[in-house]
Structure 1
């Protein structure tokens, strides 16, 4: 009986850890997708189907949509102390400026290529992990 109880406790702990890990991974992926949408959105500001679709995605991944991160505010003054979404936008903007995105077929930077270069970089993954402390704990 003690072995069964120990096994049940171990399984419960494993499930809890797996759920916490999947929550963290989902939050990271959501914030990363938000960053990609912002990277594209800043480059297609004109009213087009692509621009409109990207702006919808930004809203969906953002704090007012299905965002999984909290914005840290001073409770008395409501001053924003840290916004993971703004921080991600700032990061992506700076990283995009450094991305090559060059093609022999275009005299200018290829937006999608440069944004995907940022999105797929280890540095972006590292940045996204720095935002883990702002992940919502809805338990």
Structure 2
């Protein structure tokens, strides 16, 4: 009987931990996707169907869409103390400048390639993890 109860408690804890990990992974992926969409949107400012579509993706992943992160504000002044979305945009902007994105077919940086280079980098993954403390507890 004690063994059965211990096994059930272990299973419940394992499921709870797996769910929490899954929620953290989902939040991280959402913020990464936001960063990629913002990287692309910032580089294609001219009106086009692609720019409009990418802009909608930014909105969907952002705090006013289905965002999974809290924006930290001073409750008295409403001053923003930390915004994971703004921090991600700042990170992606700086990393984009460092990305090569070069091609033998073009003299200018290939935007999609450079944005994907940032998106797929270990450094971006590490940055995204620094935002974990702002994940909404209700996911």
TM over 0.5: yes
Shift of 1:46: 1.0
Partner of 1:111: 111
Residue correspondence of structure 1 range 1-139 to structure 2 within 5 A: 1-138=1-138
Shift of 1:15: 0.3
TM-superposition CA deviations, 1:36-77 (whole Å, max 9, x none):
000000011111000000000000000000010000000111
Q: TM-score, normalization: structure 2? A: 0.99
Count of residue correspondences: 139
Report the Cα distance in structure 1 between the residues aligned to 2:37 and 2:126, rounded to whole angstroms: 18
Question: Partner of 2:81: helix, strand, or coil?
Answer: strand
Shift of 1:112: 0.2
Q: TM-score, normalization: structure 1? A: 0.99
Alignment RMSD, CA only? Answer: 0.7
Report the Cα distance in structure 1 between the residues aligned to 2:35 and 2:133, rounded to whole angstroms: 18
Report the Cα distance in structure 2 between the residues aligned to 1:108 and 1:46, rounded to whole angstroms: 17
Segments of 5+ residues of structure 2 without an aligned counterpart are none
